[in-house]
Amino acid sequence: MVFILDPSGIICLIGTYGAVIYADYVVIQWIIITAMPLSIWAPFHVVLFHAIVLLVFLSHSKAVFTDPGIVPLTTNRPDFSDLPSGEGHGSEWTVCSHCKAHRPPRAHHCSTCQRCIRRMDHHCPWINNCVGEGNQKYFLQFLFYVAVLSFYSVALVLGSWVSPCTECNQIVKQTQWMHTLILMFESAFFGLFVSFILMDQLHAILYDETAVEAIQHRGSYRPNLPKYQLLTEVFGPGHPISWLLPCAKLKHSERHKPCVEDV
């Protein structure tokens, strides 16, 4: 388990959980209980909404605490003078000029984590962790479920506006309007935001090019691999439906085992 003590990342973590908890409060208290207390659909929405919230929390916690692929440091600092240093060419082992780790192809140094990460895509403050080989699956699941939860919230808000509470007094109506309006802006913003990131992540997987590699203009690492194989490298084997479940930890490729003694 890993956890990065980065102040901005911790603030984003608190903001993430706060936004989801607030959405849950508004949906239950000011939409379902207030606008549809006698509806036969009320129990269905309560169960489904909380199921999605649970999946958001599970996938997010997995993305936060799962090792993204930290390259081990060495105890005896062996002589790597015959190996290239810096970023390399993507197909060779190199020595990091920052942490001096002997790192496999496609590993990059994160200035926030202060370590090299296997197949690092980027450092994400919303999970207070790098997105790398070990946790990219959970990061994608988190994005997907946040998008689903956001658009579901938008639909529930619109439904409460179309069929408002007719028996509520003016104070209740005004309070409901205030909370649902805030939730509408929150859900629309985060829904679109994570949808764009999700599409970008899927594009990076299907074309086998991380964000770091795209910035460095390296092109696709393995352009001839089938798209399905590239997806299974991230989500693991099994039926695609199982890719939606944040329950199986990825195993690192054998080619990424360090050739020197780990700490």
Q: Which residues are catalytic?
A: 124
Of 74, 196, 198, the C-alpha closest to 142 is 198
Nearest-10 crossing angle of helices 170-206, 227-235: 120
The C-alpha atoms of residue 108 and residue 210 are separated, in whole angstroms, by: 11
Q: What is the DSSP letter of 72?
A: P
Angle among Cα 136, 11, 191 to the nearest 5 degrees reads 55
Of 140, 117, 143, the C-alpha closest to 130 is 117
* Residue 14, token pair as written in the block: 């608190």
Determine what percent of the chain falls in helix, strand and coil, rounding each to the nearest 5. Answer: 55, 10, 40
Cβ(67)–Cβ(139) below 8 Å: no
Nearest-10 crossing angle of helices 170-206, 136-162: 150
Q: Could you tell me whether strands 115-117 and 108-110 are parallel, antiparallel, or unpaired per DSSP bridges?
A: antiparallel
